Chains A and B, each alone.
Chain A
């Protein structure tokens, strides 16, 4: 490699302003099962990174006894330190979680995919399904199949489809990367079976690559310029841009596994209940790491 090679790895240094409202509350739904408990390390770490308070929301079937609440939630004494317990105030667990998300200041939901019993094949736990049908603004899903393990944040994979809709996800990813000292790898998937985005200001991978030695560096620079100009950046975050071809969901998951990514961040249109095989679910199931969904409207 020579110094003249264009670098797709850019340290953002500018006076851009944050557009992400910082997280002040992390909500962790627990039903007392081991499967729901696996999201705990992620919730704790994120609460620490944001300097946020961690709320454990009980979403189990049985009545909770306040004196024994931590244990019923599956939290050890050590795990329960500093966690605010939120016993259910509704007979509907999902409603309880969504209400908490609205009431608590700047809340982030962190949740296992296996919260509540699985009632349908190819679906997550019933509570998880119901909560996400309510389109929480910011949420992290931890796939239960991975089991519970310590979690650190060194690499964030940011899905970017080249449209302005991705901007909120950029803000969330960069904000978190700055807090964790992590790097962001933005992945743009050049998809087959999809038209080019036609929203003004979109920048999909180029349809014409006359000379790759010029086109790709120029495209990467333009991509970054547009992202920076959107105001979504913090200073000092190391940012890599990558392009892959294929189906968005499977490519994201593939890259996440291949690069041992710690967190995938993607903008989410809220398509959930009606799509059992949507790209978001594919990523959650197959990325091998937690996935942050930033609701960007439908």
Chain B
């Protein structure tokens, strides 16, 4: 069967370098290391007890590891009938060679496969008794653990303890460590660890790959492949080392089959002895620079030189550092606490602040779902988390939109518009990647118009750029990148609509966030966001002229701007048609929405599917059922522009009409309900938002976690229940806790300051650090200019909130 069996037998080969000896010593200390690394607090852990084959794809997604550069699903090392192991590198898209296909995130060769034989019998959950089995995701340290205790048909009991990580300290590094203990027998243990192209369930495209045989190091498995349809090269360097209690190492041979390379190690183990297999993978691509193969080899050498233990420690320290600025603590609701950490874990795992040419796909790097494409989800639902917890990551995500600006210009130009028209779905180049049509569940072929009509994404991106700049004060970003996005997006809106005979500027033929209604006119969300984009575009031009004239001159010359155009933007913003009824204070979601057939959604409860599935694609367009937060989302995003009455009226009108057919919906409804004080409603939606991935009967996390829903959950708590809004010179808090919560606490980054907000039933506290003071405001209007290094508290009495008071000085370290 072996095409080219070229064993590299190192049975008698001594270790030639100090580095390799260090690796052996590391492995010998693996158990000690594992003991130190384990997090025991269950609120930091996601545990999948036992094994349910049918849920395997979901489990793989939920338990994925990642660091923004690389992601790896939480598959079983030995595989199962449903295992779909996959490793992804951000930005590495392949282009299938089929008509009408779109780029998709490439499934890279699987490096995690480890199969074990005990006395020539495979160790498998399908044979014998599974005495214990659990996968544990440790959010705190960013590690996936697996514990498996198995009795084989011969009665031998074997214990496996394994961990896997994608280093947050060194993004090109992955580690997989397996420790095996024969509990009641002595025997020969055989490990077969492999690297193989994925086949079957998740991706059907086998990459073209070849083994590089020119490695000078016998225990390094080198691999390089060219991405189909792209020039990208991906290079792997994999080294593995086995050691057991009595001696080291076991034998090692290598087999090569088409699509698969296998290493074999053996050890003769006594009962109770431990055997460790450490696998270290280094990944570089040609996107990182020239000769990724040499870089991965050199990187691997350096990692081995420093030792695995050191690499693992650096990783866990990096995670602990990130949580310092991101962890929301909720005392009194353990389920929500775990959901928030699950959200934070997957969001942090998805972002790479060091690479501004990639963004976060709708399913992160935890699965192949949505082909890795990037939507408005990123800017509207995910970027806020990073703005307030890790601004460099937010900046990198927004710079991705700068680097794809040229593609957005191409799209606008090809559609007959000016400026930049961002794609509804984006991949590596920034060109539109929305599929043109799908086969619907009823068998019909349905055209997908979102790529042409769901244009609000351009305003969403501009909104996020503006918010980032406002909340970070990152002038360098704004001048170098953000301003050009603001100008080009405003220019698009000025060309997309038309001033009609009524004197208003109308934007027709669009899809708003409510995608149940396609090809509508004067969509409230789109027009409101476009109006803001036009205004901010004009402001950007004025600010550039005033504060950064050189940059303005450069942009004006290159983009052929003149003052008349900027003036036009203000006029168009002023004449933008906003469908608003002053009597009812309602925005009409789009022209004609109020005349749609009313549907009482309560009559459909409980229901097991989305409303468009129940009513059908054509029928739902004739009804007033809203897919997801639409006008409600606009009232949140434009909060400071609207009166409390308008916000509440629109929430109360649209909430009962919303079917929540998108995972993006519950969180925004929780947020808005909390802000307007409808706490039972807020609690219901918060629970729904928290269960989108973690509920065990949703069934659609198989392709990866729902990144926007995770970002939305963070927003619901911070912007909704804590009521955080930002001011020109500070922040405002309007706390609305739930009865079960004893304490809500979270850190914030705002314009170079670090804050920690604590909310209890009748007390709000804010610790501040940084160089500059900031204004603190409470919902009551109580304000104080908070000096850095102090804690301020406000107490609530029957009469309302008392004024802020300085409680004590706090050191930066205390934050």
Contact = CB atoms under 8 A, between A and B. Distances in A.
Interface string B83-117: 00000000000001011111000000000000000
Contacts of A246: 614
Contact of A225 (B57, B362, B375): B57
Interface string A210-247: 11111111111110011001110000000011111110
B201 interface: yes
A207 B609 contact: yes
A42 B101 CA distance: 45
B437 A196 contact: no
Contacts of A221: 201
Interface in A73-115: none
A190 B608 contact: yes
Contacts of B373: 214
A220 B101 CA distance: 18
A2 B101 CA distance: 8
B606 interface: yes
B437 A5 contact: yes
B609 A214 contact: no
A193 B370 contact: no
A278 interface: no
Contacts of B664: 210
A35 B370 CA distance: 54
A192 B614 contact: yes
B700 A194 contact: no
B407 interface: no
A201 B608 contact: no
B4 interface: no
B442 A229 contact: no
Contacts of B692: 208
A191 B82 CA distance: 27
Which of B96, B102, B442, B608 has the most chain A CB atoms closer than 10 A to its own CB? B608
Contacts of A1: 437, 439, 445
Contacts of B559: none
Contacts of B613: 190, 205-206, 209, 243, 245
B663 interface: yes
B612 A229 contact: no
B699 A4 contact: no
The bracket for how many chain B residues form the interface is 35 or more
A8 interface: yes
Contacts of A217: 438-439
B443 A202 contact: no
Nearest to A16: B81
Contacts of B616: 245
Nearest to B81: A229
B608 A204 contact: yes
A201 B52 contact: yes
A198 B696 contact: yes
B501 interface: no
B702 A222 contact: yes
Contacts of A198: 696-697
A244 B53 CA distance: 26
Contacts of A3: 98-101
A197 interface: yes
A121 B203 CA distance: 55
B661 A208 contact: yes
Interface string B628-662: 00000000000000000000000000000000111
Contacts of A225: 57, 82, 201
B362 to A, nearest CB: 7
A65 interface: no
B259 interface: no
Contacts of A190: 607-610, 613-614
Contacts of B662: 208-210
Contacts of B446: 212
A220 B201 CA distance: 12
Contacts of B96: 4
A7 interface: yes
B119 to A, nearest CB: 26
Nearest to B698: A207
B83 to A, nearest CB: 10
Interface in B578-626: 604, 606-610, 612-616
Interface string B39-70: 00000000000001111110000000000000
A205 B610 contact: yes
B435 to A, nearest CB: 5
Given A190-B613, A190-B614, A210 B201 contact: no
B100 A2 contact: yes
A211 B446 CA distance: 13
13 contacts: A4-B435, A196-B606, A198-B697, A202-B54, A205-B608, A208-B698, A209-B612, A213-B435, A218-B370, A226-B54, A240-B443, A245-B609, A246-B614
Shortest 9 CB-CB contacts between residues of A and residues of B: A201-B54, A190-B609, A2-B100, A243-B441, A245-B614, A4-B101, A4-B100, A205-B609, A208-B663
Interface of B: 52-57, 81-82, 96, 98-102, 201, 362, 369-371, 373, 375, 377, 425, 434-443, 445-446, 448, 450, 604, 606-610, 612-616, 660-664, 692, 696-700, 702-703, 706, 708
